[in-house]
């Protein structure tokens, strides 16, 4: 079996470190954003918003590194799958970071308005979405397809919670219309968490593709329809 040049292996290892570093930053962003929303902490929310530039820059750096490896080394088989998977995961992580910023912006808005009892358990939903993100990144680090599949299964639960939130917020708006703007902000936060879970699922599916060479996204969609 032909061995890869040492410099190619070094670049692959560098790429892995870069995507994991981005993942750590995104995890921290999401945790801070949710904490800022729950605690009505404007200072923390602004830190999340200000951190978006760094996440965006790391996303660009990862993409450029992937393209450089593709152009210079023209990898095949497992190495090609790795670079393609990281390119896709990179995009999902950047989008999760954006959603964290969106939640932080909702926190800033709510902190300047009358305090409102949440009609649903946002913290529980946030913890489930965060667990899915952590699980997808752990699956990537360990190339653990079983963990990746568990993340995919958890997405249905977060989807159900988002639907429940919609119904609860609609009910609260009808009974207390003076708080409609704040309630809509909370509904948006729920939607952002649901989207985070979707992106975490995408990452998990890419891990399965990386390890097994199987694209399961459309398979999962067909299973949901049947």
Cβ 75 vs Cβ 102: under 8 Å? no
Altogether, the residues listed in the chain come to a count of 226
Superfamily (CATH H level) for 6-225: Phosphate transport system protein phou homolog 2; domain 2 (1.20.58.220)
Give the helix/strand (H/E) hosting 175. helix 145-175
Cβ 49 vs Cβ 105: under 8 Å? yes
Q: What is the mean pLDDT of the chain?
A: 90
Is the model's pLDDT at 63 over the cut of 50? Answer: yes
Tokens of 57: 């820059």
| Residue located via tokens 């602004």 | 46
Q: How many CA atoms, within 13 angstroms, populate the side-chain half-sphere of residue 113? A: 17
At 220 the pLDDT is: 53
pLDDT tens, residue by residue, 14-56: 999 999 999 999 999 999 999 999 899 999 999 999 999 999 9
**Cα 151–chain centre separation:** 12
Tokens of 76: 């095949």
At 113 the pLDDT is: 86
> What band does 1 get if pLDDT is binned at 50, 70 and 90?
very low
Q: How many CA atoms, within 13 angstroms, populate the side-chain half-sphere of residue 102? A: 18
What is the rounded distance in angstroms from the CA atom of residue 99 to the CA atom of residue 126? 12
pTM above threshold 0.85: yes
User: What are the residue boundaries of the structural domains of the chain, listed by start?
Assistant: 6-225
Is the model's pLDDT at 222 over the cut of 90? Answer: no
What is the rounded distance in angstroms from the CA atom of residue 104 to the CA atom of residue 81? 35
Instruction: Say what percent of the chain tops pLDDT 90.
Output: 73
Q: For residue 175, with 0-12 CB atoms within 10 Å meaning exposed, 13-18 middle and 19 or more buried, which class applies?
A: exposed
């Amino acid at each position: 079996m032909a061995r890869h040049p040492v410099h190619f292996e070094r670049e692959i290892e560098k790429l892995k470190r870069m995507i994991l570093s981005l993942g750590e930053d995104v995890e921290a962003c999401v945790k801070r954003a949710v904490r800022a929303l729950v605690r009505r902490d404007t200072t923390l929310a602004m830190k999340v918003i200000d951190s978006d530039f760094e996440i965006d820059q790391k996303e660009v750096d990862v993409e450029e590194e992937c393209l450089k490896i593709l152009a210079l080394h023209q990898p095949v088989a497992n190495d090609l799958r790795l670079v393609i998977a990281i390119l896709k995961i990179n995009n999902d992580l950047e989008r999760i970071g954006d959603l964290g910023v969106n939640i932080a912006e909702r926190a800033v808005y709510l902190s300047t308005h009358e305090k409102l009892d949440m009609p649903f358990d946002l913290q529980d939903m946030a913890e489930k979405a965060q667990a899915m993100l952590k699980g997808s990144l752990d699956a990537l680090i360990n190339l653990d397809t079983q963990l990746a599949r568990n993340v995919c299964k958890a997405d249905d639960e977060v989807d159900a919670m988002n639907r429940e939130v919609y119904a609860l917020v609609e009910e609260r708006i009808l009974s207390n219309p003076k708080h409609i703007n704040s309630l809509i902000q909370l509904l948006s936060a729920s939607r952002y968490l649901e989207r985070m879970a979707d992106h975490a699922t995408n990452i998990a599916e890419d891990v399965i593709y990386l390890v097994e060479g199987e694209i399961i996204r459309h398979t999962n969609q067909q299973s949901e329809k049947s």
